[in-house]
Amino acid sequence: MSASIAEIRDSFFQECISHLEALQDGLSEIENGTENEETIHEVFRAVHSIKGGAAAFDIVTLVKLAHRFETALEAVRSKQAAPDKKAVKLFLRPCDLLGDLLRLAGTKNSEEPEGFRTCLSELDAYIQNNAESPVKSKSTENAASNAQDRESTSVGIQQAEPIFDIFFEPNSEIFPSGNEPLYVLKSLYELGHVTVTCDTAKIPCLSDLNPENSYLSWKAELLTTCDLAEVKEVFDFVEDLCVLNISERQQAHSHTRNLDLTSNRVTESDSNAEQQPAEPFQITQPDASGRQSSAKASVEKARFESRPPEEIAAPAAKPTVRVDLDRVDLLVNQIGELVINQAVLAQSIATTSLNTDASIFAALEDFSQLASDLQDSVMMIRAQPVKTLFQRMARVVRETSRTTQKDVRLLTEGESTEIDKTVIEGLFDPLTHIIRNAIDHGIECPAERSEYGKPEIGEIHLTARHKSGRVTIEISDDGRGINRSEILRKAKETGLVDQSAKLSISEVDNLLFLPGFSSSNSISNVSGRGVGLDIVRNSIAAMGGRIFVTTTEMKGTVFKIDLPLTLAVQDGLVVEVSHNTHVIPLSNIVETLILKNSDIHLFGSSTKMIKIREKFLPIIDLGAALGYRKRKSHFDGCNVLLIAQEESYFALIVDAIIEQRQVVIKALQNNIGACPGVSGATILGDGKIALILDPIDIVKTTAPQNRFRKEEYSLAG
């Protein structure tokens, strides 16, 4: 495959992602009862576009499913079948399979995915039960159209099926573009009876033949009930790559319709008048100057003028450019190096006498601001809405519901929330596992839900929102919740917890994240093998995130995932602890202050807490937590970082606060594995490496002498 063909093929797969997104959006609107006629047309066009592109690249299985799907949708589009929830439930199956087939085709795998044959059979049954044959359906539709024609004109003679005379001559660009004339002509057979003849007169002798050029042309006679627009639609993908003439005439009857390209109107003639051939619909290539021919320009004008007023007034979509992600990653890395060099330059100037020069200082400030703005702009390029991820989760809900024989629907909120593409990709497996668990363990079967006075259809809510420079993903269900006594019993039974252990509510909930723990009593296709939430927690931790769980018995469970917006850069506070320099993400810090003796209060025998605005907060000595020194006994004059942890706070003690800085994150997991309390590393302006700390994780993993007991904290209010 030549480079140009490969690029066109890649472009096709990228376009299909947009088509699938539009398809799922449309089906969701139909399912929710908020659709209109245009929604149904949009769904049909999405499937038709996928089919047309797949045919050009000879992706047989994709064409087969898309064609069957398109035929089923035609029954809804022509109002022969109702777009009810039963139909949408059926249509979601081929929608999912189209995505599977596209992924397989992307790897040049021609295998049929699981459920392919079953889906075809279901579509066939739907077509047979709810739709007439394509020709009969079109006849009914055209009969109504013809009746309107008779009302608008004085001619009262019934029309017969029209005949379209088609001349199709591809140019030399057709094959390099990835199109195949054979599949274009085959599409005509779906519209009615076709007679095709091929003209081979332009084929040169073998020595002069260029295999990449097209020397053939075809003439076709199409007997169909379709109108001119539907016939032209067959050639949508090649209209700029050929000479195409389409003329319409009636079959031995007295009524002819012509498309007048000059006046942009349809004219009708009577058989008593002299028969004139209908003016052909012409599509020609751009001339040497790049301008379109007047015929095509007229057609484009006719298309525009025929749009509804509200469509004309709608704003045009913003132009976009598809860029290979590797190129964006390279740009991100280069911008990161620029930021590091800027920091080195600033450090060098600060250590010399040049920092007294106002002009140099001003120029450095401008350079720093420009580097920061440039970095933000590049990060915006990588940012994507979570909508595509949420759509994939909708499929997980459907398939798991079908497997567990439960009726569950997914409700989403915040689909436009943007985060780094790498974060989105890393969230797929954790969200899949949580949702499958929620359906299998949390949501009851319909009969059980009825007994509890709940709706038979269970609900899973998936939301995304920005919060304090990070993104929060919540997955909640309205099921039975977590049975904490059963969780604790199983943990003790399997030896994960000591038999005499007494755990708090939050500690019992966190048992779900222990390796090898499973709350399922049996092994199924969904769960029960002990490969569970520990993998989820590790995956999220690898992205610099955290996961929390809360539950209410008989009302449901909520999993909350807190993540950075990007894995490339972040704003941080550079601090010093025991002569070591570290960075703490700014998104974790609420405020900074200096400790006084009067702020410190002793609870119990050894627990010290700080009083801030009438609230008592636990004190964590960062140097002791990292193992640099023993725990401080005096904190007077120490620098304190007030850290937010969900709805609570704690005070983190550091020796000095150096500066605030935007840092480039360098991952450590691939080199040294997961390191508790450390989310990455960065290079400072002096060329030294500093660890980027995760203060929330440090609190969880800190040594026992640095922890505070819950009962002592409760005494502090």
Contact (CB, 8 A) for 36 and 62: no
CB-based burial of residue 188 (10 Å sphere; 0-12 exposed, 13-18 middle, 19+ buried)?
buried
If pLDDT is split at 50, 70 and 90, which confidence band does 187 have?
confident
What is the chain's Cα-based Rg?
34
pLDDT digits (tens, 9 = 90+) for 71-96: 888 888 888 888 888 888 899 999 99
Residue 254 has pLDDT above 70, yes or no: no
CB-based burial of residue 681 (10 Å sphere; 0-12 exposed, 13-18 middle, 19+ buried)?
buried
Q: Which residue has the higher pLDDT, 291 or 566?
A: 566
- Output the pLDDT for position 558: 93
If pLDDT is split at 50, 70 and 90, which confidence band does 320 have?
low
| pTM for this prediction | 0.62
Q: What is the DSSP string of 431-466?
A: HHHHHHHIIIIISPPHHHHHHTT--SSEEEEEEEEE
Contact (CB, 8 A) for 513 and 482: no
Token reading at 94: 């081929």
- Output the pLDDT for position 500: 81
Q: Which residue has the higher pLDDT, 641 or 342?
A: 641
pLDDT digits (tens, 9 = 90+) for 606-635: 777 888 877 888 888 899 888 888 887 777
Q: How far is CA 393 from the centre of its chain?
A: 10
Contact (CB, 8 A) for 691 and 582: yes
Which helix (H) or strand (E) segment holds residue 644: the answer is: strand 639-645
Which residues have C-beta within 8 Å of that of residue 266, sequence separation ≥ 6? 257, 258, 259, 260
- Output the pLDDT for position 250: 66
433 vs 410: CA distance, rounded Å: 15
DSSP category for residue 587:
G
pLDDT digits (tens, 9 = 90+) for 651-709: 899 999 998 887 878 777 667 766 778 888 888 877 788 999 988 888 776 644 444 43
List the end-to-end C-alpha distance of the chain, in Å, as a whole number: 71
Least confident of 57-71, 244-258, 290-304, 665-679: 290-304
347 vs 364: CA distance, rounded Å: 11
Mean pLDDT of 162-187: 84
Residue 160 has pLDDT above 70, yes or no: no
Helices and strands counted in the chain (H then E): 22, 25
- Output the pLDDT for position 283: 41
If pLDDT is split at 50, 70 and 90, which confidence band does 181 have?
confident
Mean pLDDT of 360-371: 81
Token reading at 25: 């959006």
- Output the pLDDT for position 557: 92
Write the Ramachandran bin of 280: left for phi over 0, alpha for psi from -120 to 50, otherwise beta: beta
Q: What is the DSSP string of 147-196?
A: HHHHHHSS--PPP--EEEEEEEEE-TTTTTTT--HHHHHHHHTTTEEEEE
Relative to beta strand 607-612, strand 615-621 is: antiparallel
Token reading at 507: 């500690």
Which residues have C-beta within 8 Å of that of residue 498, sequence separation ≥ 6? 492
Nearest to 580, CA basis, from 524, 624, 529 = 624
Question: How is the beta sheet containing 648-654 ordered, strand by strand?
Answer: 589-594, 639-645, 648-654, 615-621, 607-612, 600-603
Mean pLDDT of 144-169: 55
27 vs 43: CA distance, rounded Å: 7
Q: Which amino acid is at 199?
A: D
CB-based burial of residue 552 (10 Å sphere; 0-12 exposed, 13-18 middle, 19+ buried)?
exposed
Which residues face 611 on adjacent strands? Answer: 616
Q: What percent of the chain has pLDDT over 90?
A: 13
Q: Which residue has the higher pLDDT, 268 or 130?
A: 130
CB-based burial of residue 146 (10 Å sphere; 0-12 exposed, 13-18 middle, 19+ buried)?
middle
Q: How many Cα atoms within 13 Å fall on the side-chain side of residue 133?
A: 8
Average pLDDT, the chain: 77
Contact (CB, 8 A) for 574 and 668: no
Residue with tokens 């691939």: 670
230 vs 228: CA distance, rounded Å: 6
Contact (CB, 8 A) for 135 and 225: yes
Nearest to 168, CA basis, from 106, 231, 93, 112 = 231
Mean pLDDT of 409-418: 91
Residue 711 has pLDDT above 50, yes or no: no
Which helix (H) or strand (E) segment holds residue 135: the answer is: helix 134-152
474 vs 45: CA distance, rounded Å: 34
Least confident of 176-185, 408-417, 492-501, 530-539: 530-539
Which helix (H) or strand (E) segment holds residue 484: the answer is: helix 484-493
- Output the pLDDT for position 355: 60
Token reading at 583: 């960075």
Residue 421 has pLDDT above 90, yes or no: no
Mean pLDDT of 483-503: 84
If pLDDT is split at 50, 70 and 90, which confidence band does 256 have?
very low
Nearest to 463, CA basis, from 531, 559, 367, 369 = 559
Residue 131 to residues 125, 136, 368, Cα–Cα distance (Å): 10, 10, 66
- Output the pLDDT for position 522: 53
If pLDDT is split at 50, 70 and 90, which confidence band does 21 have?
confident
Q: How far is CA 610 from the centre of its chain?
A: 45
Contact (CB, 8 A) for 632 and 638: yes
Contact (CB, 8 A) for 468 and 586: no
Nearest to 413, CA basis, from 469, 480, 458, 476 = 476
Q: How far is CA 501 from the centre of its chain?
A: 44
Which of 183-187, 299-303, 688-692 ranks highest by mean pLDDT?
688-692
- Output the pLDDT for position 647: 66
If pLDDT is split at 50, 70 and 90, which confidence band does 485 have?
confident
- Output the pLDDT for position 435: 93
Token reading at 216: 């053939």
